[in-house]
Amino acid sequence: MANETLNVMPNSNETNVHHRRNKRKKSNTDEISSEKSPIRQSIIPWLASYFNYKPTDKTDHESEHDIKKPKKDKSSWICNHFCCKLLFVFGLFYLIMFLRPDYSILIRNSLEDMLRKFNLTSEEFILRPGQHLAKYRQPSMPVIIIPGIVSTGLELWQGTECTAGKFRHRFWTSMQMVDSISRDHQCWLKHISLNLTNWRDPDSIRLRPVLGWAAADYVFPGYWLWSKVIQNLADIGYDPTNLVTLGYDWRLQPQYLEERDGYFTQLKFYTEFLRIKHGEKVALLTHSMGATYVLYFLRWVTEQAGDQWIDDNVATFLDVGGPLLGTPKAFSAVLSGEMKDTAVLGDLGRSILGKLVGKLVVFPKFFRALGSVASMFPRGGSNVWKECFGTEKNSFEHMLTFPIDRYKHFADKLREIQEKCEEEIDYNHGFDSILEEFYAKPELIQEIMTHNHTVEQFFDVLKIMAPRYMNLVNKYYVFDSSMYQSKVDDKTKKWKSDSRYWADPLSTPLPNVTNLKIYCMYGYVKEPMTECGYSYGFYPGTDYCSSALLLFNTSHTNSSACIKSGVYLGPGDATVPLVSLGHMCAGPWKKPGAYHNPGHVKAITREYVHKTTTFDILTTRLEDALRGGEYAVTHVEILGNRDFLTDLLTIVSKPIAGTNQSHLTVNDDNVNEDQIYSNIRQMSKRIMARQENN
């Protein structure tokens, strides 16, 4: 074979003739042959024979570029690729930095000078707010951190066979959760969910909250929650003796959180202990749903120990991004398991998620298995939620809409397609075994889908689509809009005797105290990015044998109507609407001596807006840059906002004796004043005016 291949290979004479015809080469065949290495001469025939390769004959019109120049013999271990050279340069650079640290400082300073000329660096990012204030401030109030929903890690204390060998593995937060989901998502979902029928631990399964700062500092490596707050507090002198993170099982409704874990008893104990040890009243620092649970605690402890206990032990309640009046996202989560974050994926995203988890119905099942989600259902009725768009002219009317003309004869169509289900559906006594829910009659579903619905009517929709679930909700929560129009004496009788009202600031007043301060601290994104309502529909891809039939109408987008991918959007922090974040501090709580603030609690609003800053190449960490930078104001990212951190440190600290505080941007005087960029005052005035007229 080798000889046959050699016969068809071009000989040196043919190549030489080709060069003479082009008059570009004057060397003869012997010269070319002599330049070829012995290795090249032996390998080419072998490769040609191995692959049975037959090269085409060269033609006279081929240019010299078609002929490969013979390569010089080079050592095989030398890498001439650009990446190799770049790697060598970086390696040499770091070796020099290691051997001569002084060179590192010189090079960094030179780079900073160069970047500063092009406005690519900023001095303000070099020090954390805590590092800057450490020269002027020192700890004053002991701080207790109460995280929000999904912010506390949960670990396994008892499980089924699929969790063998995973004792105390984290099933919420950390990479252990990711590993559990990737290996067996059904096993993970079974353990993370509570019992659907009573919101308690399933049989033979116990997840319990992680204790300490590790419970809420990071969700995953690189995705921070409370770590920046803790680090900045440490910068000015806080440590484990005066800073406590009191995590909790965020899945539980507040009543059972106390019954099972004694959480509010623990919070009361830690507050008393820190006040006695340090001689200073305590600051309760909350985020998201944690603010709602602290409102519940304030009423619970008042009923246990009286109003004076709060005046004696609590200095301030810092509500960071708290949905005090709820959020529409909680509605959509239990109705269809969807929210804005999934709507942007569209139908393709639904298909992918459905294949990953088996059926889309597992999402509403998961949210209905959490007793805490209902604590964030929208409160206040249409009187409050008309302001979700934040404008007087364009008031928000319906929280749930449908393309009405499309579903006039939906009942007949639904009966027809449900005949294909494996098990016959009994609309009178039928039971969806997956959601443990009763089936709604097609006529009732058609009635829902041919009308639009206000926030009050959304509850009626849930009563039809999920009657068993709503019976459980009513056991622990009250969402009665008529309560807001009741006389003061009637309201008092209700909340005094019924703990279901205690997480509702519109029904239950603040404690009758004089020294407490409440800060409503939240990010304000003026652009419509926060969920206010939803457009729903029925799609062929829906699991029509399930009792959860409705999905977002992701094709519905209209910028003039503030709707995108089936989600109505308004101002807020991209998770909680502005009216829920700010109304209580800007409106009812601003009136001392009135029903909602019978004492003289001082309510202060601190809004934060996103600042466009130069990207600091030398000091900005990638984990911050990917989340909007160090002035991001969205729901979670507010915990790392430099302006918020500066305010927080100023509130809980006191001046170091002998230091000049006058040149600080934020001081003890202006931090106790409102800082408002939105129109929340005007929104609150309109809400309270409508309330008085009713």
The residue type of 100 is R
- DSSP letters along 384-400, please? HHGGGG--SSS----SE
Asked, for residue 203, whether it belongs to a domain, the answer is: yes
Closest CA to 584 of 529, 503, 528, 651: 503
On the question of pLDDT at 508 being above 80, the answer is yes
Q: Do 97 and 159 reside in the same domain of the chain? A: no
What's the rounded Cα separation, in Å, for the pair 73 and 71? Answer: 6
Backbone angles phi, psi at 283, to 5 degrees: -100, 125
Cβ atoms of 653 and 140 within 8 Å: the answer is: yes
pLDDT confidence of residue 267: 98
Integer CA distances (angstroms), 395 to 198, 332, 389, 532, 546, in order = 38, 21, 6, 11, 35
Q: Per the confidence metrics, is the pTM higher than 0.75? A: yes
The mean predicted confidence, pLDDT, of the chain is 84
Contact partners, residue 577, CB within 8 Å, separation at least 6: 327, 328, 388, 530, 531, 532, 570, 571
Q: Do 43 and 163 reside in the same domain of the chain? A: no
Q: Do 370 and 451 reside in the same domain of the chain? A: yes
The parent domain of residue 332 ranges over 328-485+529-570
pLDDT confidence of residue 271: 98
pLDDT tens-digit series, residues 659-672: 988 889 899 989 99
pLDDT confidence of residue 53: 42
The 3-state secondary structure of 176-193 reads: HHHHHHHHCHHHHHHHHC
- 571 is written with which tokens? 């101002």
pLDDT tens-digit series, residues 208-231: 999 988 888 888 877 899 999 999
Q: Do 57 and 88 reside in the same domain of the chain? A: no
pLDDT confidence of residue 50: 44
Q: Do 90 and 56 reside in the same domain of the chain? A: no
pLDDT confidence of residue 300: 97
Q: Do 385 and 533 reside in the same domain of the chain? A: yes
| Percentage with pLDDT > 70 across the chain | 80
| Residue where a domain stops, chosen among 169, 188, 209 | 209
On the question of pLDDT at 98 being above 60, the answer is yes
Q: Do 55 and 19 reside in the same domain of the chain? A: yes
In this predicted model, which residue has the larger pLDDT, 98 or 137? 137
Q: Do 373 and 447 reside in the same domain of the chain? A: yes
pLDDT confidence of residue 464: 94
Q: Do 349 and 444 reside in the same domain of the chain? A: yes
Helices 254-261 and 467-476 pack at an angle, to 10 degrees, of: 70
Instruction: Give the chain's domain count.
Output: 4
Q: Do 469 and 551 reside in the same domain of the chain? A: yes
> H or E element: which one contains 605?
strand 602-608
pLDDT confidence of residue 19: 42
On the question of pLDDT at 13 being above 70, the answer is no
Q: Do 355 and 431 reside in the same domain of the chain? A: yes
pLDDT confidence of residue 452: 95
pLDDT tens-digit series, residues 105-140: 777 667 666 656 655 455 555 789 999 999 999 999
pLDDT confidence of residue 244: 97
Asked, for residue 500, whether it belongs to a domain, the answer is: no
pLDDT tens-digit series, residues 162-211: 999 999 999 998 888 888 888 888 899 999 999 999 999 999 999 999 99
Asked, for residue 255, whether it belongs to a domain, the answer is: no
Instruction: List beta partners, residue 208.
Output: 155
Asked, for residue 263, whether it belongs to a domain, the answer is: no
Cβ atoms of 603 and 520 within 8 Å: the answer is: yes
pLDDT confidence of residue 345: 67
Asked, for residue 245, whether it belongs to a domain, the answer is: no
State the pairing for strand pair 563-564/517-523. Answer: unpaired
What's the rounded Cα separation, in Å, for the pair 153 and 294? Answer: 19
Question: What mean pLDDT is predicted for residues 463-489?
Answer: 86
Confidence class of residue 17 from pLDDT cuts 50, 70 and 90? very low
pLDDT confidence of residue 16: 45
DSSP H stretches of helix in 545-593: 578-586
Q: Do 457 and 392 reside in the same domain of the chain? A: yes
What's the rounded Cα separation, in Å, for the pair 393 and 48? Answer: 81
Asked, for residue 565, whether it belongs to a domain, the answer is: yes
pLDDT confidence of residue 618: 52
Asked, for residue 657, whether it belongs to a domain, the answer is: no
> H or E element: which one contains 689?
helix 680-693
pLDDT confidence of residue 606: 98
What's the rounded Cα separation, in Å, for the pair 578 and 549? Answer: 31
pLDDT confidence of residue 215: 86
- How many Å from the N-terminal Cα to the C-terminal Cα in the chain? 101
Cβ atoms of 387 and 580 within 8 Å: the answer is: no
pLDDT confidence of residue 570: 96
pLDDT confidence of residue 332: 95
pLDDT tens-digit series, residues 359-393: 778 889 999 999 999 999 999 999 999 999 988 87
What's the rounded Cα separation, in Å, for the pair 192 and 480? Answer: 31
What's the rounded Cα separation, in Å, for the pair 223 and 474? Answer: 36
In the DSSP assignment, the letter for residue 572 is E
